[in-house]
Amino acid sequence: MYSFDMTSEQKMLVDTVRRYAEKNLRAVYREAEESKQVPDKVVQMGWELGLLPGFIDAQYGGYGEYSALTSALYLEEMAWGDLGISLHLLTPNLFAIPIAQFGNDKQKEQYLALFCNDSFPRATAALVEPVVQFDPADLRTTAVKEGDSFIINGKKTYVPLAKQAEFFLVYAQEGGVTQAYIVPSDTPGVKIGKRVKLMGVQALEMYEVEFENVTVPKANRLGGLKGIRIQKLLTLSRITLAALAVGLARAAYEYAVAYAKERVAFGEPIAHRQSIAFMLANMRIEIEGTRLMVWEAAYKFDAGEDAAKAALLAKSYADKMVLDVTDGAVQVLGGHGYIREHPVELWLRNGRGFVTMDGAVVA
Amino acid sequence: MAIEFKTPEAIEKQLRQVQIVAEHAMRPDSRRLDDNEHERPARYVAMMLPQMQEMERANIAAAKARAAKKKEAALATQSNGHGGVAVLEAPPAEEARQSTGTMMLVHMIEMLSWGDAGIYLCIPGGGLGGAAVQAVGTAEQIERFLTRYTEGPAKWGAMAMTEPQAGSDTGNIQTTATFDPATNEWVINGQKIFCTSGKLALEESDGMVVVWATVDKKAGRAGMKPFVVEAGTPGVIIAKVEEKLGIRASDTAAIIFDNARIPADNVLGDAEVKTSGGKGFKGAMKTFDSTRPIVAASAIGIGRAAFEFTRDTLAKEGVKMEYGKPRWKLSAVQADLLEMEAQLRAAWLLTLKATALLDAREENKLESSMAKAKAGRAVTMITQKAVELLGPLGYSTELLVEKWMRDAKINDIYEGTGQINTLIVAREILGYTRNELK
């Protein structure tokens, strides 16, 4: 059947994350962006929500199983609070989710327990490369098998929290196919470069990382001999990013609605004019349409159906939608939208990031 | 409940049947019926009739049961707080959430419109007129007006609302209904236009039309009531059948009512004018909440036809979709196809949500207008793109793509233009009345 009602467990989780986003993320988002730093306290509180352990099997120390749909539901709330801080909070997922999806028993046993502790895990992933036509399925970074080891060479960028990371999940091309390798940060040849400066999500610390003849044992190849399926990972990433885009867009839409009802011009609220009201109506329609596409893709993923196409359609639609909506919000606020006193300019800058981050966020 | 995106097996099964109709009784006649405007799609009507009669039987039984319950409820309380409208009344608990009627219907209409949207509209049965009778009629009226659609040769029903000076502003209609106590009849005078299937209902079969008329002009919307006018009523004249951009197989009639006399009990709902609230008019507006997802579904069927044909034709030429690639590695044509498919999906999912709410008898005004506004706009874009992407052949009448573009446009116009539906969405999200947001 077609049903659009969350389970009561999902509703509770969404409520919890919404409260956290409202109380904590909204309170510090501007300060975090301007100081380019996420307060530790907010991270710790976010970690204590226990979202990631909820996706890890009990046998590895968690208390649930992965659901792309449940993830999509709370990611919307998180991004509604703030995207930069959300991406900081989700950094351990970039390591843990692929391990849970593709790891062999030994890898799951060894690593997943790290994500079921009280303290924020220090693990991240390196996928994106500093090239113009970046394609996760066609990487420049290479992994070459030599004896019982893999030797990794290449330059990565957009690696979140690389400086404090103890483990990297490094994506590299092995004989023309993208695979992933677990690399402890103290492995010789791992060089953390400069912090990446971006147009938006500036609260999130991201670095360039170079891997120069980094040698790891062959047991560190994710999934062992079987390896990973990069398209499946991209499918999950697209669902993740599209869900975050819906949350960000909803934040901008709600702000614009409230402003338009409040702001008086020519003697009445500007929302009384169709030129403004229709912009807001179209924002709402596009947000809702995107959300349903995200849900459908996530539902298919969880049901074990081929979700690749649904996820791609959702992501591609979300990329455009989030730009339209955040830009529309700036426009509704007019000159005030351009001023950093209001959040909409930041949301527009953040919104621009989604198309770029394809593959880079999995949660 | 849990979120679910799965077409039920019963609907899948039905769709396989409908697709056969679409492929064998619609597509082969598409071009001919577009060229010969208003020729009745005989093959399609004959093929659909038995099924539609059976469906009408089920609908009528359900509507009669509802009407009987409503009568009891009306005696118990003066108002249910929802404007007294049938479609909004909460069903008894055991009935709740079990209806999948509209979900089946939107899927069928999507598929029929994939076949041919103009031919689809000639579906035999009560149509919008029948829906109005079911929604607000008494058990006796349902029996009297709708039994015809369950038996005998094909018959049609229609709804007459629009007038030359009153389109989207339906509150401005001028057609009058005056009660004549001498004969116990209503006398209808006025002119209606843009009545879909009006000719099929009044001239080509023993059908009926639900006509909106005012019993008291001073009362405004509260004075507007729906009346059933049957085929063969003296003083009812089909003045004109419109020549249109698309959906040419479907007749769009202009009807003149010149002292047309109908029995007193042909008024649907309460004939009394209540100054406290225009329930009858609200009832008419309320029916749009259930018909808009259906129009959206029809739009989407045309859009899917155009998208699939374009995709398959280009694939034969070596331009294939690659769903795994980053967007910046797609060609412009591939990016267009991706955009078309995503737009179609967004519109379809909005439609399914509006429909699921309707079947659950929950408020869906916002959702149905969102679906309709989105589908009308998306499918206009998709069909225009299809014509463009297929080059000289797309523009040619050798293919059906140009026809689909013409057919699609109606969905951005009828059952509320894209602008009217956007206006409704805007009022809903802003919490504004029609005076605050004009």
pLDDT in tens, B133-156: 988 889 999 999 999 999 999 999
Contact A137/B at CB under 8 A: yes
Are the C-beta atoms of residues B422 and B404 closer than 8 Å to each other?
no
What percentage of chain B exceeds 90 in pLDDT?
Answer: 75
pLDDT confidence of residue B398:
95
B57/B40 Cα distance (integer angstroms): 24
Computed over every residue of chain A, the mean pLDDT equals: 97
SS3 B28: helix
- Cβ(B132)–Cβ(B228) under 8 Å? no
A358 touches chain B (CB under 8 A): yes
Instruction: Say yes or no for a CB contact (<8 Å) between B346 and A133.
Output: no
Smallest CA–CA distance, residue A319 to chain B, in Å, is 10
How do residues B226-263 score in pLDDT, each as one tens digit?
999 999 999 999 999 999 999 999 999 999 999 999 99
Q: What secondary structure does DSSP assign to B388-404, as a single string? A: HHTHHHHSSTTSSHHHH
Q: B426 and A136 in contact by Cβ < 8 A?
A: no
* A272 at interface of B, judged by CB pairs closer than 8 A: yes
Instruction: Give the residue-averaged pLDDT of B92-119.
Output: 80
Round to whole Å and give the CA distance between B123 and B294: 14
Tens digits of residue pLDDT in A194-210:
999 999 999 999 999 99
Confidence check: pLDDT of A123 > 60: yes
A232 shares contact with chain B (CB less than 8 Å) = no
Helix and strand tally (H, E) in chain A?
A: 11, 10
Least confident of A159-173, B160-174, B341-355, B416-430: B160-174
Contact of A206 with A159, CB cutoff 8 Å: yes
Gap between the Cα atoms of A44 and A58, Å rounded = 22
Q: Give the mean pLDDT of A235-244.
A: 98
Task: With beta carbons less than 8 A apart as the criterion, state whether A114 and A121 touch.
Answer: yes
Q: Which residues of A touch B303 (CB under 8 A)?
A: none
Q: What is the pLDDT of residue B87?
A: 33
The C-alpha atoms of residue A52 and residue A74 are separated, in whole angstroms, by 11
pLDDT at B313: 97
Question: Given an 8 Å threshold on Cβ–Cβ distance, is A317 in contact with B325?
Answer: no
Question: Is the separation of the CB atoms in A289 and B342 below 8 Å?
Answer: no
Q: Measure the N-to-C terminal CA separation of chain A; round to a whole number of Å.
A: 27
Q: What is the predicted pLDDT for the residue at B92?
A: 39
Q: What is the predicted pLDDT for the residue at B77? A: 44
pLDDT at B90 over 70: no
pLDDT digits (tens, 9 = 90+) for B199-212: 999 999 999 999 99
The pLDDT value recorded for residue B290 is 84
Say what the ipTM of the complex is.
Answer: 0.95
pLDDT at res. B271: 79
- What letter does residue B91 receive in the DSSP assignment? P
Tokens of A227: 């390896």
Q: Which residues contact A30 (CB under 8 A, 6 or more apart)?
A: A340, A343, A346
What is the number of other CB atoms lying within 10 angstroms of the CB of residue B285? 17
56-75 in chain A: CB under 8 A from chain B: 69
- What mean pLDDT value characterizes chain B? 90
Q: Is B417 on the interface with A (CB under 8 A)?
A: no
Listed range (B2-16, B48-62, B402-416) with the worst mean pLDDT? B48-62
Q: According to the model, what pLDDT value does residue B83 have?
A: 30
What would the mean pLDDT of B259-270 be, rounded to a whole number? Answer: 94
pLDDT at B348 over 60: yes
Instruction: Determine the pLDDT at residue A258.
Output: 98
Closest CA to A96 of A137, A148, A53: A53
Q: Residue B70's pLDDT is what?
A: 73
**Residue B209, strand partner residues:** B158, B229
Given a cut of 60, whether residue B401 has pLDDT beyond it is yes
- B239 touches A: beta carbon within 8 Å: no
Give the DSSP H/E element, type plus range, for residue A180: strand A177-184
Q: Between residues A133 and A146, which one has the greater pLDDT?
A: A146
Active site residue B204: no
Within an 8 Å CB–CB cutoff, is residue A275 touching chain B? no
Nearest CA in chain B to A287: B346
> Would you call B3 and A136 a contact, using CB atoms and an 8 Å cutoff?
no
Looking at residue B184, its pLDDT comes to: 97
- What integer is the mean pLDDT of A31-39? 97
What DSSP character marks residue A215? E
Q: Which residue of A has its CA nearest to B100?
A: A1
Confidence of residue B326 (pLDDT cuts 50, 70, 90): confident
For residue A278, which residues of chain B lie inside 8 Å, CB to CB? 419, 422-423, 426
CA distance A53 to chain B (A): 22
**Per-residue pLDDT, B276:** 53
Whether A185 and A168 have beta carbons less than 8 Å apart is answered as yes
Residues of chain A in contact with residue B345, where contact means CB-CB under 8 angstroms, are 293, 296, 310, 313, 317
Average pLDDT of the residues in A133-140: 94
Whole-angstrom distance, CA of residue B111 vs CA of residue A79: 38
**DSSP per residue over A17-55, as a string?**
HHHHIIIIIHHHHHHHHHHT---HHHHHHHHHT-TTGGG
Residue numbers in B near A2 (CB within 8 A): 4-7, 103, 352-353, 355-356
Q: Which of B204, B339, B415, B428 is catalytic?
A: B415
Q: Which residues of A101-140 are buried (b: 16+ CB within 10 A; e: fewer)?
A: bbbbeebbeebbebbbeeebbbbbbbbbbeeeebbbbbbe
| Residue A356 C-alpha, separation from nearest chain B C-alpha, in angstroms | 10
Q: Is the pTM of this model over 0.90?
A: yes
% of chain A beyond a pLDDT of 70: 100
pLDDT at residue number B279: 54
Contacts across the A-B interface (CB distance below 8 Å): 145
Q: What is the pLDDT of residue B281?
A: 67
Q: Which residues contact B164 (CB under 8 A, 6 or more apart)?
A: B191, B193
Q: B327 with A316: CB under 8 angstroms? A: yes
| A157-208 pLDDT, tens digit each | 999 999 999 999 999 999 999 999 999 999 999 999 999 999 999 999 999 9
pLDDT number for residue B78: 42
